[in-house]
Structure 1
Amino acid sequence: MTWASRWRTPLLTVLTLLAGVLVGAAAPSPAHAAATTSITVDGRAPGPAFDGVGAISGGGGNSRLLADYPEPQRSRLLDYLFKPGYGAALQTLKIEIGGDTNSTDGAEASHEHTRGAVDCDQGYEWWLAEQAKAHNPDIKLYGLAWGAPGWIGGGNFWSQDMIDYLMSWLGCAKKHNLGIDYLGGWNERDWNAGWYKNLKSTLVAKGYGSIKVVAADSGWNVADAMTSDPAFKNAVDIVGVHYPCGYNSAFTSCSSTPTARSLGKPLWASENGSEDLDGSPGLDSGRGAPAVARAINRDYIDGQMTSYINWPVIAALYPNLYFQTDGLSLANQPWSGHYRIGKTTWVTAHTTQFTHPGWRYVDSAKGYLGGDRANGSYVTLKPANNSDYTTVIETVDATADQTATFTVTGGLPAGQVHVWSTNLTSDNSADWFAHTQDVTPSGGKYTLTLHPGHVYTVTTTAGGGKGTATPPPSKSLALPYADNFDTPAGTTSPKYFADMNGAFQTVPCGGGRTGKCLRQMAPTRPIHWTDEKSPNPYTIMGDQTWSNYTVTVDALLEPSSTVDVLGRVGQQGRNNNGLNAYHLLVGDSGAWSIQKSDTNWNWTTLPGASGKTAKPLGAGTWHRISLTMQGSKLSASIDGTKVGEATDASFGSGQAGLGVTDYKTVQFDDFAVSPGTATPSVSGPVTSGIAGKCLDDDRNAGDNGTHAQLWDCNRTDAQVWAWAGGTLTHNGKCLDVAGEGVANGTLVQLWDCNGGAHQQWSPQPDGTLKNVLSGRCLDDPEWKTVNGTQLDVWDCNGGANQQWRLPS
């Protein structure tokens, strides 16, 4: 881990005209002579058509919480994603074709759980696509499946059933007045050439001949197969590959293959993207905004890829999920309306706000500054009529100022250009996507001084804009909480419930009840995309700070089955390969148990916490089930009778949830989470996993902004902390993540307690202390042992530098 510098770099754009010098903010002298690049923007030398910059909603569940945001915050988030001249101004939206199975951080609902029973209102992707079109009527839509219902092809994805399934999905798109522009096969699962041929012929026969087929949303080897199979080549319109710059890398090199380039078809980075919506300030850690800035340019320079599609579109998912901060923005608190617009939004805007799909690359004005990729890159685009041009430049890795001299020719406008800039090394949002200069060329020429760690747009287009909406502060979801599922939500899922496997939908109640109930709809095990060893359906909701509470629900076991009531739900393993949680399992036979699972899906029945009711509960009848957690005491009740209890201290806080132990159509009603007795505050030192070190208040100051730091344990007042209900306080101030930040390296300090999730901490079984808002852990950077080392938050890794023993 690398320590993240907190220095803020001023805006330094300096434009020098041949006729004189126009100076912006003063800049320090470079350490050595600046590199010089001559860029000829020639309208007579166009390259291939630009297909746009987009993002993905899917793979999976990453957009789930957006629909539950209150107004006006929901509309503002949608503006930041899709509205031209406001934020990311996305030009393509790729949406998951749901299959009732986990596809990374959640499951997306199928429109056809059983053969022939089509429901075009399932899930939230149709809603999101409609919103995207409303905000930007020109946006392109792209559909792709990660998994599929189990009835398809007897478990074979590459079947006629799957093609028919896609046709019914396209029928649903028509009902939502949505035109689909692109369609893929099976995400990251290679291809079946015969299937793609059949897909293409079926699209033409069904009147969808304008839809372009993308293959194979995997690797470049599909191009080799197309070369040796002309019919396969003819069936595919676009070659789409994933992570051509390397997965979760710095994206410094983004190559394709000679074979792919020889096909004469558009090449796309049909999924790209990098961890974190911001990246580590002041660093090039290969993640977040700096990596995306490189990739949007270098995809074309290195590999002739004409579209970049970011995974995912937004981090609207709970912070205990693995990819909790990946996306253009963060929106994980619908109850508070709090959100954060990430720096990646503005890196994207540098291209999208000043170009349009259908423009063409200008190959005379692309490349690496000074011929060295370490200096940065540039690409230029223009419309067919030569009425404008836009050059996008990144200097992510540069270490000194550089000079770029532009010569505009070939019928392109030689008038005023507008310069926009983002300082990637700055944490100050005023330094992101700032309109810094307007320059009038002399004789079609002008010079720009480029500073390290920036993204620039130089454009003749008018407009461009930066949204100014301000989010409300974060806060915890208060208890008690209840939902009888009768009140309509933003989607077919109840408010705040996020499906991890299966499909939980509100439907008319069965078993003699009126009103609406929550039903697990998938009756057979799907064709999975993930490989988790416990793929049972479950859905989660709530706040990571919930500690002592009772979760209660009525359950109707329709066929013979076992329901799962979850409590203190914590960290989920990557791709649902485990979950820290308690489970009360109750079957129709009357068998019950309290179990715990971990992030490897190891299950343990707690000692003494299993048994059987005097009579079987039976299928087709309603029963009231409750799981109570008070400190280390856990107890189970069925139909108002306590049936057993256990003692376990593995998980101290977390969300609630509902599930089924197999793909059965169980119903739930009258869900409630009621608070228990608050755990008394305890005071004392917070000791580090690094021997002899403690959490320390710098100088025992106790003022807002006082550093939280590492120091030798010394039993002084500066190391006395109070722990209660997920907060750590000292001298009446809360342990706080500065600026409600979520990026790696964000500093930790003391601040007035305000109930925000950035001041809430969730102890993990491995001894780490996870911040509820960011999902990152309290961290001693680089395992430093020097007294006064200021603490930050960083990706949780279980190291001793992230382990803390709380007062007890």
Structure 2
Amino acid sequence: MFSRVSHPRSDGTGGVRRRSWWTGWRPHRIAVSVTAAMTTAAAVLTGFAAPAQAATAITINGGSGGRALDGIGAVSGGGGNSRLLIDYPEPQRSDILDYLFKPGYGAAMQLLKVEIGGDTNSTSGAEPSHEHTRGSVNCNRGYEWWLMEQAKARNANIALAGLAWGAPGWIGNGNFWSNDSIDYLVAWLDCAGTHGLTINYLGGWNEKGYNATWYKNLRSALNSHGYGNVKIVASDDFGWGAADESLRDPAFANAVQVFGSHYVCGYRSAQNNCPSSNNAISTGKSLWASENGSDDYNAGAQALARGINRDYIDGKMTGYINWPVLAAITPNIPWATTGVAVAQQPWSGNYSIGKSAWVMGQTTQFTAPGWRYLDSSSGYLGGNRNNGSYVSLKSTNNSDYSTIIETMDAGGAQTLDFTVTGGLSTGTVHVWSTNVRSNNSADFFVRGNDVTPNGGRFSLTVQPGYVYSITTTSGQGKGTAVSPPQGNLQLPYSDNFDGYATGREAKYLMDQQGSFEIAGCAAGRTGQCVRQMSDQTPIYWTSGHAEPFTLLGDLTWRNYTVSSDVLLEKPGYVQLIGRGNTYNHQGPQNMNGYYFRVTDGGAWSILSNNTSGNWRTLASGNTSALGTGRWHTLALTLNGSSLTAAVDGTTVGRATDSTWVAGQIGYGTGQGVTAQFDNLSITPGDGSGNPNPTGEIRSAASNRCLDVNGASQSDGAVVQIWDCNGGANQQWSAGTNNQLTVYGNKCLDVASTASGSRARIMSCTGGSNQQWRLNADGTIVGVGSGLCLDVNGQGTANGSAVQIWTCNGGSNQQWVRG
């Protein structure tokens, strides 16, 4: 006879009051019914009809063979995606770290892979190298050491891995596959030791193929330097070519302990089918899906749920690494909502924990590295991929076990009849679940009633779109910390950089290319300055080769003056950036924004650039030479369409341009130009933070205007984005009763409060579907729906539809008035 447990769906009210997207989660227990013998009652309790198919029988056999779990985790790096986390205030910083790494609290990551910084952009920013120039090692640069320390403090058993994306140009005179890079990696391991960190795994060069001789030389070097226990991962590329090579080359096989491949289920796929290769399996080595994901922290949860299970079922992969850990970057930086959490505002402390964190926790909180998969107790429900998948693992104590079930594509409820055998515990089973189809945080990581097996047998009715964890272990939990609301970084803002240790990064400064870090000021100036450290062309990872630049600030900053002292250490140029916004990560020099550039010889220019790399010179001329080794003060004032540039307090040029309305400030230099910056000041200008009551509303992602299609004034005319042209169909007023009006008498309106409802214009009625909150973070939120005004599909092209959608912090939900 079976004991049967049923998982009821939400009561329709959500159980708790709906929360905004940035808040933390509340615990919420599900009601579960258990009896000694039930037939269809479990399905009835859930509100679903009883499954038409016969129950699926699953035997959880502790005697089954299987591979050992290496871990489930994520990447910090590739690059810069964790940058702002270290700048968060307490307690929010610790809260976020707990959600990521603390056992029994959130994602509970078992494996953390970090970038070995190379002074070059590697997707969402550049991370600093521990060795900018040959022989000059500084083990305290950047934030990855800090992040590993914090992860280790929360979970002493977390495994750590390192991998390079790019590298300083001195390595091998630009050739990564050289002895220089091996020495460089050994120095990085030495640095880890100074932080009390033991690195478990080390890779080669991310997504750049492999060199078998280099890996053999790396193994030899690690062994000779006392790092024989560090396991080498090859080749962190696409496919299993390195595993094929190991079958031809025994010395290479002996050098490598893990074969890792990227996006084994397909790049940004649904992760339905996740094979490795026969050759890879036959090596007997650990196999990893060593980079996956690249998906939104909420929308990617379904794929993550499939992939964690199916990587092992289809390809015997025992390591799963999501890219990235979190998006601790501002919304204009590429991949601004990927990972398992979003943390874009250290100044407000606001953050959001995604559904993906809870999906990951459904495995990590119920297993541990060293647990063994049970091959005969893992597979597809009813032998059909569409029904969902399940994997079973047993503890190192050979008694406890956990089975993780996902039903992402199932069409209805299914009853699973379990039999426990092979020496495993037949005691109480605990049931936890996440409803991945829900957007209500109360439905994530919910504990149900326990199940008491009868003679080692019990049943579970599972609903479609869920992840379930059934386990004999305890200690699981759902974190309760709650995020504060969003808020702008207020002007004025200043920093003299004197409060930082040498080698660190200034607060909120986000390197996009090169390395801007704290150093002692030059030319007789006391205190600390920001110095651009990269003195030659790096070994790039991206295809787009930008010159060094770094960004800081709020995307809603509109009219302001950015001023800074600068010193060129060698001939070349320095520049201030204003209204910096969206950029193309494959060509990071292609960013929307204005630039005030001055050379050592005194040639100056005011420039505009966009994501397509269309540089325009708005004004240029000559002033007194800056020279090298001397301090000067540069300033760029942006007030509406008026741009003014000054050197040492004297205006050198003016330009008129209205292309870019708002954005961040930044520092920049020419390639290989070392320079220093001090006394940063950003002061508000006329109307800063006080947009005109009537005017354009621009999408922060595209800089295109909120536009009524075809300049129609008819009720029901849809709204889109279009090139700003000054037309009446692009002039919006913040009217009474929270209305946004166009033509003076038509209101921005949505037909329903559901996500995806298209924005349109209608005669004003005063209804809540025509009321909007214009928030300080640039979002425009419907009063009736609580959803954000959004450009469909993150579109940036003319004609892209505007709708309402769940607020997610994306730049396609950021708007600038002016």
TM-score bin (small chain): 0.7 to 0.9
**Aligned residue in 1 for 2:586:** 575
Report the CA distance shift for 1:581/1:780 in structure 2 as closer, same or farther (over 3 A).
closer
Number of paired residues?
749
Report deviation, 1:303.
0.5
Q: Report the residue type matching 2:75 in the other structure.
A: I
1:214 pairs with 2:228? no
**Are residue 237 (structure 1) and residue 249 (structure 2) matched?**
no
Aligned to 1:437, the other structure's residue is in SS state coil
Counterpart among 449, 464, 477 of residue 437 in structure 1? 449
The within-5 A match list for 1:147-296 is 147-218=166-237, 219-279=239-299, 288-296=300-308
In structure 2, distance between residues paired with 1:476 and 1:695: 37
Mapped to 2, the partners of 1:646 and 1:189 lie a distance apart of 44
Counterpart mapping for 1:95-494 below 5 A: 95-218=114-237, 219-279=239-299, 288-488=300-500, 492-494=504-506
Q: Distance in 2 between matches of 1:579 and 1:778?
A: 14
> Any conservation in 2 of the 1:105–1:576 contact (CA below 8 Å)?
no
Offset, 1:747:
9.6
Q: 1:133 & 1:722 partners in 2: Cα distance?
A: 53
* Identity percentage of aligned residues: 53
The alignment's TM-score, normalised by the length of structure 1, stands at 0.87
Distance 1:668 1:107 in 2: 18
1:768-783 matches, cutoff 5 A:
none
Q: Using the TM superposition, give the Cα deviation of residue 597 of structure 1 relative to its aligned residue in structure 2, in angstroms.
A: 1.0
Change in Cα spacing, 1:443 to 1:693, as seen in structure 2 (3 Å) is: farther
Q: TM-score, normalised by structure 2?
A: 0.86
**Structure 1 residues 437, 14: closer, same or farther in 2, change over 3 A?**
closer
Greater Cα offset, 168-177 or 751-760: 751-760
Counterpart contact for 2:758–2:801, Cα < 8 Å: no
Q: State the match for 1:593 in structure 2.
A: 605
Check conservation: 1:187, 1:217, Cα contact below 8 A: yes
2:646 is matched with which residue? 637
User: Aligned with 2:433: secondary structure?
Assistant: strand
Q: 1:556 aligns with which of 563, 567, 570?
A: 567
Structure 1 residues 428 and 564: alpha-carbon distance in aligned structure 2, compared to 1, 3 A threshold: same
Shift of 1:26: 3.2
Q: Secondary structure at the match of 1:390?
A: strand
Change (3 A) 1:35 1:545: farther
Q: Deviation per CA, 1:127-166, whole angstroms, max 9, x where unpaired?
A: 0000011011110000000011110001000000000000
Q: 1:131 to 1:240 in 2, by over 3 A?
A: same
Q: Distance in 2 between matches of 1:779 and 1:453?
A: 33
Other-structure match for 2:723: none
Q: Secondary structure at the match of 1:153?
A: helix
**Matching residue of 2:744:** none
| Correspondence list, 1:582-731, <5 A | 582-606=594-618, 609-613=619-623, 615-678=624-687, 681-683=692-694, 688=707, 690-691=709-710, 731=737
Aligned to 1:536: 547
Question: In the TM superposition, what is the alpha-carbon distance from 1:387 to its structure 2 partner?
Answer: 2.3
**Deviation string, structure 1 residues 269-324 (Cα, Å, up to 9, x no partner):** 01111410001xxxxxxxx1000000000000011101101100011011101100
Whether contact under 8 Å (1:685, 1:720) holds in the other structure is no
Q: Secondary structure at the match of 2:193?
A: helix
Relative to structure 1, is the Cα distance of residues 291 and 688 closer, same or farther in structure 2, using a 3 angstrom cutoff? Answer: same
Q: Which amino acid aligns with 2:330?
A: Y
Write out per-residue CA displacement over residues 14-66 of structure 1, whole angstroms, 9 at most, x where no aligned residue: 66655347859932233861453211001111301011101110000000000
Aligned to 1:704: none
The root-mean-square deviation of aligned C-alpha atoms, in Å, is 3.3
Deviation for aligned residue 1:350: 0.3
Contact between 2:30 and 2:447, CA under 8 Å: does it hold in 1? Answer: no
How far apart, CA to CA, are the structure 2 residues paired with 1:502 and 1:289? 34
What secondary structure is seen at the aligned counterpart in 2 of 1:650? Answer: coil
Q: 1:650 to 1:720 in 2, by over 3 A?
A: closer
User: Residues 645 and 653 of structure 2 are in contact (CA less than 8 Å); yes or no, is this contact kept in structure 1?
Assistant: yes
SS in 2 for 1:194: helix
Give the corresponding residue for 2:83: 64
8 Å contact 1:70–1:337 — kept in the other structure?
Answer: yes
Q: Check if 1:516 corresponds to 2:528.
A: yes
CA contact (8 A) 1:34 1:401 kept: no
Look up the equivalent residue of 1:267 and give its one-letter code: L
Secondary structure of the residue aligned to 2:66 is strand
Residue number in structure 1 paired with 2:557:
546
- Do the aligned partners of 2:336 and 2:810 also contact (CA within 8 Å) in 1? no
Distance in 2, Cα, partners of 1:670 & 1:551:
10
- Do the aligned partners of residues 431 and 19 (structure 1) sit closer, same or farther apart at CA in structure 2, a change above 3 Å counting? same
Counterpart residue type for residue 731 of structure 1: N
Q: Which blocks of at least 5 consecutive residues in structure 2 are unaligned?
A: 1-11, 16-28, 698-705, 721-727, 742-747, 749-753, 760-768, 782-787
Structure 1 residues 190-230: Cα deviation after superposition (integer angstroms, max 9, x where no partner): 10000000000111111100000000001212211111111
**Residue among 37, 40, 60 paired with 1:19:** 37
AA aligned opposite 2:636: L
Label 1:220 to 1:734 Cα distance change in 2 as closer, same or farther (>3 A). farther
Secondary structure, in 3 states, of the residue corresponding to 2:67?
strand
SS of the residue aligned with 1:438? coil
Deviation at 1:616, TM superposition (A): 1.6
Deviations 1:744-787 (A, max 9, x none): 959997778584426369xxxxxxx9979x99579999959xxx
CA distance in 2, matches of 1:316, 1:444: 46
AA partner of residue 470 (structure 1):
V
| AA at the equivalent of 1:210 | N
One-letter amino acid of the structure 2 residue matched with residue 108 of structure 1: E
Q: 1:676 to 1:750 in 2, by over 3 A?
A: farther
- The structure-2 alpha-carbon separation of the partners of 1:710 and 1:154, relative to structure 1 and needing over 3 Å to count, comes to closer
C-alpha displacement at 1:570, in angstroms? 0.9
Q: Residue 558 and residue 760 in structure 1: after superposition, are their counterparts in 2 closer, same or farther (change >3 A)?
A: farther
CA contact (8 A) 2:435 2:444 kept: yes
1:233 Cα offset (Å): 1.1
Q: Cα distance, 1:364 vs. partner?
A: 1.8
2:518 to 506, 515, 521: 506
C-alpha distance in 1 between matches for 2:552 and 2:304: 31
Q: What is the CA deviation profile of residues 512-567 of structure 1, one whole-angstrom value per residue up to 9, with x for unaligned ones?
A: 1111100001111110001114x200000100000011110000011112001000
Asked whether 1:50 is paired with 2:53, we answer no
Q: Secondary structure at the match of 2:46?
A: coil
**Letter in structure 2 aligned against 1:109:** P
User: Residue 679 of structure 2 aligns to which amino acid in structure 1?
Assistant: D
3-state SS, counterpart of residue 318 of structure 2: strand
Give the gaps of 5 or more residues in structure 1: 1-6, 280-287, 699-707, 712-718, 738-742, 762-768
Q: Which amino acid aligns with 2:87?
A: D
Over 3 Å counting, the alpha-carbon distance change for 1:12 and 1:425 in structure 2 is farther
SS at match of 1:663: coil
